Chains A and B, each alone.
Chain A
Amino acid sequence: MSLTNPNIPEDVRAVAANGTQLRYKLMELTAQYPDAIALGRGDPDLATPPHIIQATESAIRQQRTGLAPVAGLPELRQAVAQKLRSDNGLPADTENVIITTGGQEALFLIMQVLLDPGDEVLVPDPRYTSYDEAIDSAGGKIVLVPTDHADAFNLRPEAVEAAITPRTKAILLITPSNPTSGIVTEERLREIAAIAVRHNLVVISDEIYEKFVYSPWKHFSIGSLPNMAERTITLNGFSKSYAMTGFRVGYVSAPRNFIEAMAKVKAVTTGPAATISQWAAHAAVTGPQDAIADFHRIYSERRQLMMDGLHKMHLDFSEPRGAFFLWTNSSPTGIHATELSYLLLKEGRVLIFPGTGFGENWGGYLRISILQSTDLLQEALTRMEPIIARYRATA
């Protein structure tokens, strides 16, 4: 499927081959339409829980705002280690944790500390294309591992093993997945762990969406398996779980020497995460967790609403087992997803990212987020339906 419509603006065409830049360009265009409904960015629309806001205010009032240690406030590192032990079964101590300026920086630092030029990282495709940039920035090479709709975008161990070369250093997992909302099941994770041990590879496990997995599916941390602690780097953060993306707090759990090396790089590249944000994160991880249950219920309702709406449009999508997205097959419209996204924005005032925002192979898919109220989601579906129907009719 090619990008053919001459009405697509040149500035969109210019970045169409770069997933990250394409997503940002579409967000910039959306800002021109005050009535647009944004189902693009993975930024929870829900309010940050009040006790987290109150803790931040207290930290400011009490002047606990000086520069933190580069690896993070000891209180927060300790609390995160406790969470990793109790929630994820990881053998983590305070020294196994570093606090980062969001999950994005965690990813950047991991690659800087892990990869020498030419080292290869296996990454499931489709993927969050910031992985590409982080790997490239360290001189590494991304090697895509195909996943497919028929398998709900679960990662197949045999596909992982087939992609291994003498230069492979790591397998990157994201479960639940952005953009597909699929998960890597425990059974598959056990097989992938065995592959990592057999081939002496590191596993980078991005678990940023761990709190939003839908029944009957369950989240599982590969680092909790025997013999995996010394070869697993677990990435997580507070942005998605607690609707606090603007605070910019993530964390990594890994063997101690890796964390110490990350601190060295972090000191040189960005310095410590903002101190007020770390106190906010401390309140999040040590305080009541009711908000997560509330968020989960809200996202479950929205997920169902969106699934029903897409069914009515006769659009097929992969079962969303976690996260916030519906990875939707748009090929029945007969037009390239980048073009369709632009048209949905221009004609319907609905921002939806094209599959090409998550890899060049995905011109037949859309990533639809559910991070708006049910009223707005319903309105978005109403706006989308005639546009989808019109292009489907002429396909």
Chain B
Amino acid sequence: MNGPQQLALPLASRVALLAEPSTSTTESQAVPEAVMQAAFAAMARGETHYTDRPGILPLRKLAVDWLGKHYGLELSADEVTITCGATEARFVSLKQLVGPGKRVFAFSGSSEHIQPAATLLGQTLTHEIDDPSTIGVVYLNSTDDPERIQQVLNQVESSECWIIWDTSVGEPTGMHPVHHPYLNDRVISIGSFSNVLPGWRVGWIAGSKAANKLRAYKQSMTICSTSISQWAALGLAES
């Protein structure tokens, strides 16, 4: 071992708060033929360079169609940004939507999906809403109890908080907070293709007046998501 072991200066204090990353990797899954062919065709076309900052248009349209089909949402592709999996989508959303001094609500059963990101960002996670004005973001997903979701939405309907609806962790149920009459312009949806294409790193953020802000921050982190992965994910729709 000749490589240096310790940086001469201390690391940022936020690092000490983080757990060791999981060492698990996923076994390769059978790649659907349509995905393979979409990836090969993209490379043959020379789609090996940066994509547009929001991600390729047909994939954004696919996310829009999916949200329309499963949740009855009416969005435009301009409101969608392709991300590096749901991980980046969640981090970008928490970073941009939780205001100073505000807390993040999540049910105890689903908070594991955002706890590490909230920790890195110095945000406080709560499982109770005692004062809705202190909540910056309500994080929900389709595995949460629908009755409890409705209670929480009613609690925060007159506050200024944002709602993150994470579709990447369970099957769609048809319920979506965007249909709440007082919240529809403050809801963003997150999704990913990782259940079928885990190593390809493709997810998305969709909806709301915050779309441009979220897109700009994603760009500042990774510019765009892997071009071939985006085209391959599009092939998934055809498989």
Q: Which residues of A approach B to under 8 Å, CB–CB?
A: 20-21, 24, 41, 43-44, 47-48, 53, 56-57, 60-61, 63-71, 81, 91-93, 95-96, 101-102, 104-105, 108, 112-116, 119, 130, 133-134, 137-138, 169, 200-202, 229-231, 233, 243-248, 254-258, 261, 263-277
Q: Which residue of B lies closest to A133 (CB)?
A: B220
Contact present for A276 and B199 (CB under 8 Å) = yes
How many angstroms between the C-alpha atoms of A91 and B9 in the bound complex?
A: 18
B1-59 CB contacts (< 8 Å) to partner A: 1-9, 11-15, 18-23, 25-31, 36, 39-40, 43, 46-51, 53
Contact present for A48 and B48 (CB under 8 Å) = yes
How many angstroms between the C-alpha atoms of A199 and B210 in the bound complex?
A: 43
How distant is B57 from chain A, measured CB to nearest CB, in Å?
A: 11
- CB-CB < 8 A to B29: which residues of A? 63, 65-66
Contact present for B47 and A269 (CB under 8 Å) = no
Instruction: Check B197 for interface membership: any CB of A closer than 8 A.
Output: yes
Question: A65-B199, A257-B6, A261-B11 known; 5 other A-B pairs, CB under 8 Å?
Answer: A48-B48, A230-B7, A268-B117, A269-B91, A270-B87
Q: Which residue of B lies closest to A104 (CB)?
A: B223
Contact present for A229 and B4 (CB under 8 Å) = yes
Instruction: Check B141 for interface membership: any CB of A closer than 8 A.
Output: no
How many angstroms between the C-alpha atoms of A248 and B194 in the bound complex?
A: 18
Q: Which residue of A lies closest to B10 (CB)?
A: A116
How many angstroms between the C-alpha atoms of A229 and B54 in the bound complex?
A: 38
Contact present for A257 and B7 (CB under 8 Å) = yes
Contact present for B199 and A257 (CB under 8 Å) = no
- CB-CB < 8 A to B225: which residues of A? 248
Contact present for A56 and B228 (CB under 8 Å) = yes
Contact present for B50 and A265 (CB under 8 Å) = no
How distant is A36 from chain B, measured CB to nearest CB, in Å?
A: 15
How many angstroms between the C-alpha atoms of A108 and B53 in the bound complex?
A: 17
- CB-CB < 8 A to A65: which residues of B? 28-29, 31, 197, 199-200
Instruction: Check B219 for interface membership: any CB of A closer than 8 A.
Output: yes
How many angstroms between the C-alpha atoms of A67 and B199 in the bound complex?
A: 4
- CB-CB < 8 A to A244: which residues of B? 48-49
- CB-CB < 8 A to B120: which residues of A? 112, 265, 268-269
Q: Which residues of B approach A to under 8 Å, CB–CB?
A: 1-9, 11-15, 18-23, 25-31, 36, 39-40, 43, 46-51, 53, 84-85, 87-88, 91, 95, 116-117, 119-120, 194, 197-201, 216, 219-229
Contact present for A275 and B15 (CB under 8 Å) = no
- CB-CB < 8 A to A273: which residues of B? 201, 226
How distant is B136 from chain A, measured CB to nearest CB, in Å?
A: 17
Q: Which residue of A lies closest to B17 (CB)?
A: A264
Contact present for B12 and A274 (CB under 8 Å) = no
- CB-CB < 8 A to A119: which residues of B? 12
Give the one of A43, A115, A258 with max B CB within 10 A.
A258
How many angstroms between the C-alpha atoms of A86 and B53 in the bound complex?
A: 35
How many angstroms between the C-alpha atoms of A351 and B27 in the bound complex?
A: 45
Contact present for B8 and A230 (CB under 8 Å) = yes
Residues A256 and B201 in contact in the complex (CB < 8 Å), given A41-B50, A137-B220, A270-B84: no
How many angstroms between the C-alpha atoms of A256 and B3 in the bound complex?
A: 8
Contact present for A93 and B28 (CB under 8 Å) = no
How distant is A148 from chain B, measured CB to nearest CB, in Å?
A: 28
Q: Which residue of A lies closest to B46 (CB)?
A: A47
Which residue in A69, A93, A270 is a CB contact (below 8 Å) of B25?
A69
How many angstroms between the C-alpha atoms of A60 and B21 in the bound complex?
A: 26
How many angstroms between the C-alpha atoms of A66 and B11 in the bound complex?
A: 31
The 18 sampled A-B contact pairs (Cβ below 8 Å) are A65-B200, A93-B3, A104-B223, A246-B47, A246-B224, A246-B226, A247-B227, A248-B225, A255-B6, A265-B120, A268-B116, A269-B91, A269-B221, A272-B199, A275-B199, A276-B199, A277-B226, A277-B229
